[in-house]
A and B are shown apart, each in its own frame.
Chain A
């Protein structure tokens, strides 16, 4: 879901973010400002290496500041919680999100996760609607961005 929200953030702001940065083994460039620093921080918080975490924290502090470090820690903590809630309760993707993220999910490799089985595989009609949305949603967001300016 957050890969989709990231894509939308980009479309709204006129930026094209590389979603595969979310799933790559090494922190790569997503196009999000300070993205590699943030990804390295998330990796270090969830990893087991305290030295790496110390370095990642210091780098984030230097690049983005103290308040950003607190906010980043809060987001990582939030999703350490939220992911577990989702996996422990077997919730499926929300209907609209499922429709809007079909292409994105394969882009970031999410369809290969075990918990993908909690969301029913879309039928032909939903897949067709998903493909149509993948074409027209970006146009819609760009239009809404132009209107809101």
Chain B
């Protein structure tokens, strides 16, 4: 039986649409993905949590030139080393990821699409865990993995653009990807994982529940009807991005 996220014991009431969105993410992580099995995806989520105590990552965080530091991460042991490296760097020092490092990842045999799926699982795990941390509740138990094989679906509409990985534009979202962007114009960050459309669907679902639907972000008058104002939301967003040293 899958452990379902619950906020029944949170110090404040969590609105139902958020609870539902986090349950969908947990179910999404546990299922076979596009390139990874449910067991591997769950292992990535577990490694994300474990990464926070990694000694190598802590040493790199205080180093002026972390790219030159070599060593093995304190991993759990269930994933190939290149994947552990992706998980740990993405969790602990996302602002230092570089194209050169990404090319090294590819040179180790990780495909672009497999990489994108890892990014999807890790970042969504960070999302739910950060929410729990912010509220002062314990992290949810990770879901039991579901059996089954990855779909190995590569969207025909994925094209190289200026990003490190190919993406699907709204104009090329056809066939199985029709409806990938229900509100039309989506900023680059909403398309960033579209080489693995199921990760995009899950991320956009979270965005809508937690922030603003991706297609409405640049609608300056859009009011998502939250308890904090749009300006307060954007102040929080800007501060988080500044702390993460994220240019985007």
Name A's B-contacting residues (CB within 8 A). Answer: 1-3, 5-6, 8-10, 12-13, 15, 17, 19, 21-23, 30, 32-35, 38-39, 41-43, 45-46, 53-54, 57, 61, 64-94, 96-97, 105, 108-111, 113-120, 141, 148
Contact = CB atoms under 8 A, between A and B. Distances in A.
Contacts of B95: 83, 87, 113-115
Nearest to B119: A88
A53 B210 contact: no
A75 B241 CA distance: 11
Contacts, number: 268
Given A57-B134, A118-B162, 16 more contacts: A1-B248, A2-B238, A5-B237, A42-B236, A57-B135, A68-B227, A70-B15, A71-B228, A72-B232, A80-B240, A80-B244, A81-B203, A86-B247, A89-B163, A110-B242, A148-B221
Place the interface of chain B in its size category.
35 or more
A18 to B, nearest CB: 10
Given A12-B220, A67-B227, A115 B245 contact: yes
B70 interface: no
Q: Which of B122, B163, B228 has the most CB of A within 10 A?
A: B228
A114 B231 contact: no
Contacts of B97: 87-88, 90, 115
B138 interface: no
Nearest to A108: B242
A86 B237 contact: no
Contacts of B245: 113-115
A117 B98 CA distance: 9
B84 to A, nearest CB: 15
Given A76-B130, A110-B247, A70 B232 contact: no
B124 A81 contact: yes
B247 A93 contact: yes
Contacts of A77: 126-128, 130-131, 134, 210
A108 B247 CA distance: 10
A44 B233 CA distance: 16
Contacts of A109: 242
B12 to A, nearest CB: 4
Interface string B171-192: 0000000000000000111011
Interface of B: 12-15, 18, 90-91, 94-99, 102, 116, 119, 122-124, 126-128, 130-131, 133-136, 162-165, 187-189, 191-193, 203, 206-207, 209-211, 217-218, 220-221, 226-248
A81 B206 contact: yes
Contacts of A113: 95, 245-247
A83 B244 contact: yes
Looking at B220, B228, B239, which has the most chain A CB atoms within 10 Å of its CB? B239
A1 B238 CA distance: 8
Nearest to B231: A9
B242 to A, nearest CB: 5
Contacts of A67: 12-13, 15, 226-227
28 contacts: A5-B220, A33-B231, A39-B235, A39-B236, A39-B239, A42-B239, A46-B243, A53-B134, A70-B227, A75-B228, A77-B210, A78-B206, A79-B237, A81-B124, A81-B130, A82-B207, A83-B241, A85-B203, A88-B94, A91-B189, A91-B191, A91-B248, A93-B248, A109-B242, A110-B242, A113-B95, A115-B95, A120-B162
Given A75-B211, A77-B128, A115-B247, A70 B135 contact: yes
B188 to A, nearest CB: 4
B229 to A, nearest CB: 7
Given A13-B231, A83-B244, A110-B247, A3 B238 contact: yes
